Chain A
Amino acid sequence: MSTTLLLIQILNGLQFGLILFLVAAGLTLVFGVMDFINLAHGVQYMVGAYLAAAFSAMFGSFVLGLAAALPTALVIGLVLELLVFRHLYARSHLDQVLATFGVIVFLTEAARMIWGVEPLSIDVPAALSGSIEIADGVLYPVYRVAIIAAGLGVGLLLYVVVNHTRLGMLIRAGASNAPMVSALGVDIRLLFTFVFGFGAMLAGFAGAMVAPILSVEPSMGDTVVILAFVVIVIGGIGSIRGTFLAALLVGLVDTLGRFVAPALLKLVLDPAAASQTGRAIAPMLVYILMAATLFVRPAGLFPARR
């Protein structure tokens, strides 16, 4: 009983970690290339979820909804870049944080006005509903397997693009020395707009994928973006590989912690106190992990080479 539960929790942690990776990837690429810190990145995740919910309801199909949500999320990201973010690149990190904070206030309220405060929920697409048997007598929802597969697929795609294409070479070059890349005749602005739009779309994709299994609400992006920050701090800002590993680590620690911490505490405390303390400690584990990582390696596990 306990091992099957553990197996399911590990898969849930993996799935959560991959969602975090999709959000954090855009964040870390944008920071790596343009030294721009975008607090409003979580809003893209929220917008993606709402768009998927709205378009799915409109077309009556999750796949069509997803197909319509992705370009829309991309366009919203690009419009924000054009209207607000573009004016912030030359500013201090403090200004960037504050202005993007204003963007969150605005878009969260906009979502509330358009779709209401009540959380939306959409059905898991019929083709992916149901469960599969992953081990003897252990059932796991197909849709969550699909999220894991999609996350791994995007991770692989990013790896190939960043490490083995000309575009990826420019991104890496831009991250280590943007003025030099610009001096060599590359339109760094255009490159950045591309990276930004792509990052926004990835976050939107993550939001759209979780829409059927979570409740879609205006503030859903906030916690995710803060965890995404934890991820890129642990992984080392600007490093895709570090972000990937840190995302899985954070996803697993966060999910397993809620399950393991009370169980472990039961060994030393009485059951009621153990579950109470465990519930208090579990959500803190990720942050303790971050603090411990920074204590040993202040620049994260895989700091990008500068």
Chain B
Amino acid sequence: MSDVAVLPEPATPAFDRPGTLVPVVVFGLLALVPLAAPLGGEAYVMSFMTRVVVLALAALSLDLLIGYAGLVSFGHAAFLGIGAYAVGILSAEGVTDIVAQSAVALAVSAAFALVTGAVALRTEGVYLIMITLAFGQMMFFLASALAGYGGDDGMTLPGRSLVLGRDLLAGDRALYYVALAVLGTVYLGLRRLVASRFGRVLAGTRENATRMEAIGFAPFGYRLVAYAISGVVAGLAGVLLANQTGFVSPATMSWQRSGDLIFMAVLGGLGSLHGAILGTVAFLLAEEVLAHFTEHWRIVFGPFLILAVLFARGGLTGLFGRRA
């Protein structure tokens, strides 16, 4: 099989030009959102922006995988679903503390990533896309079959998770800032990770796996660890997502959601981490604005996505990056 690169080449990998201006501005603006929220219907703005921040966390995890490791996962929504169902199932069983819920979500995400990754990462390129898609679909059907936990229809959560017994997340602003803090922490962590030896080896396996092997690095282990880290972060996003929506259903892990997540990462520009955040903002804003005009907004959104792929190579950070 011809080995066409799976990636649009990132202009320069972010670790070569550690941009700080764009991420500082992005996080600064995100931190100010609650102040501006009363201008546009507070509950609506806060719920929308919390969704943006949570999905940005998932898109960020995908950027690690696609942008740095060169591995396209089309089943990443499965991890969101694992996180969301950890909250849903545990709350239904009476465990409402977010610490316990997160611990379970992260452990299950890591286990799922290691098991499916061990199979999927034996392949590359287009096979990997199809296999991750299939594993994502498998989790979707599993969730649909959980008759005790809502089945196809999903289930409504009794309320937001508690933090060590206190309902700190009850306020919309509190939830938003918690989500933003998680996003910021993970962002900084991943930046350190991609600049570390591990990150460089990972980028090396993306550029040329054979050469990396020749100088003594077995790509499989690095890829599997990257896949697991990415899955765990997306699982954490799922925990927050369940708290934001108050509702868990198989639709959380539909394959369209996986496609959306890849789009968010690609729209922002792969291989920069903060690009994924910008991409998520752009993607969800476009969706939200179009949906305001017509219920058939997808008829415009579809061509918008096609044109974005055809003409906006390098994504949003590509636009900013060239000027810097």
Contact between B72 and A94 (Cβ–Cβ < 8 Å)? yes
Complex Cα gap A110–B299 (Å): 6
Contact: B119 with A294, CB < 8 Å?
yes
Q: Which residue of chain B lies nearest to A293 when distances are taken between CB atoms in the complex?
A: B119
User: Closest chain B residue to A287 by CB distance?
Assistant: B138
Q: Is residue A31 within 8 Å, beta carbon to beta carbon, of the partner chain?
A: yes
- Give 1 or 0 for each of A271-305: 1 = CB within 8 Å of chain B CB: 00000100110111001101100110011000000
List of A residues within 8 angstroms of B1 by Cβ? 237, 299, 306
Cross-chain contact A98 with B266 (CB below 8 angstroms)? yes
Question: Could you tell me if B142 and A283 are in contact, using CB atoms closer than 8 angstroms?
Answer: yes
**Would you call the interface of chain A mostly helix, strand, loop, or mixed?**
helix
A35 adjacent to chain B (CB < 8 Å): yes
Separation of A251 and B305 alpha carbons in the complex (Å): 33
Minimum Cβ distance to chain A for residue B226 (Å): 17
- Whether B17 is near chain A, meaning CB under 8 Å from some CB there, is no
Of all chain B residues, which has the CB nearest A290?
B134
Residue contact A105 to B301, C-beta cutoff 8 Å:
yes
Interface string of A75-114 (1 = CB under 8 A from B): 0000000001001100111110111011111111110110
Q: Is the CB of B125 within 8 A of A106?
A: no
In the assembly, what is the distance between CA of A104 and CA of B303, in Å? 10
Q: Are B142 and A229 in contact (CB under 8 A)?
A: no
A222 to B142, Cβ gap below 8 A?
no
Tell me, rounded to whole Å, the shortest Cβ–Cβ distance linking A175 to chain B. 11
A58→B122 CA distance, assembly (Å): 51
Q: Which of A94, A232, A237, A288 has the most CB of B within 10 A?
A: A94
CB contact between B137 and one of A35, A98, A109, A226 (< 8 Å): that residue: A226
Chain A residues closer than 8 Å to B116, beta-carbon distance: 291
B8 at interface (Cβ–Cβ under 8 A)?
yes
Complex alpha-carbon distance, A93 and B262, angstroms: 13
B230 to chain A, nearest CB (A): 16
A230: Cβ under 8 A from any B Cβ: yes
Contact A93 B305, CB 8 Å, known A101-B259, A237-B127, A283-B141:
no
In the bound complex, how far is the Cα of B74 from the Cα of A101, in angstroms? 11
Q: How far is the CB of A246 from chain B (nearest CB, A)?
A: 13
| Whole-angstrom CA separation of A109 from B304 in the bound complex | 14
Q: Which residues of B contact A35 (CB under 8 A)?
A: 2, 4
By a CB distance below 8 angstroms, the chain A residues around B66 are 94
B1-43 vs A, CB cutoff 8 Å, 1 = contact: the mask equals 1101111100000000000000000000000000000000000
Query: Cβ of B197 < 8 Å from any Cβ of A?
Result: no
Q: Give the size category of B's interface with A.
A: 35 or more
Q: A35-B2, A98-B305, A229-B130 are known contacts. Are A279 and B135 too (CB-CB below 8 A)?
A: no
Determine if A108 and B310 form an interchain contact, defined as CB atoms under 8 angstroms apart.
no
Does any Cβ of B come within 8 Å of A202's Cβ?
no
Closest to B116 in A: A291
Measured between beta carbons, the chain A residues less than 8 angstroms from B262 are: 94, 97-98
- Decide if B302 touches A103 in the complex (CB within 8 Å): yes
Report yes or no: A103 in contact with B306, Cβ–Cβ below 8 A.
Answer: yes
Residues from chain B with a CB closer than 8 A to the CB of A92 are 4-8
Residue of chain A at shortest CB distance from B123 = A298
List, in ascending order, chain B residues with CB within 8 A of A31's CB: 126
Please tell me if the beta carbons of A233 and B131 are within 8 angstroms of each other in the complex: yes
Docked CA distance A84–B308 (Å): 12
Bound-complex Cα distance A87 to B127 (A): 22
* A284 near B141: Cβ-Cβ < 8 Å: yes
Q: Report which residue of B4, B8, B138, B142 has the largest number of chain A beta carbons within 10 angstroms of its beta carbon.
A: B138
Contact A295 B4 (CB under 8 A): no
Verify A112–B296 contact, CB threshold 8 A: yes
A94 touching B7 by the CB < 8 A rule?
Answer: yes
Is the Cβ of A102 less than 8 Å from the Cβ of B302?
Answer: yes
- Checking B4, B5, B266, B299 against A106 with a beta-carbon cut-off of 8 angstroms, the contacting residue is B299
- Are B138's CB and A101's CB within 8 A? no
Q: Which of B141-180 contact A (CB under 8 A)?
A: 141-142, 144-148
Q: Are B4 and A93 in contact (CB under 8 A)?
A: yes
**A247 interface residue (CB < 8 Å to B):** no
Contacts of A110 in B (CB 8 A): 299
7 pairs across A/B with beta carbons < 8 Å? A88-B309, A92-B5, A99-B309, A105-B305, A109-B299, A226-B255, A291-B131
Across the A-B interface, the 3 shortest Cβ-Cβ residue pairs? A106-B302, A102-B305, A105-B302
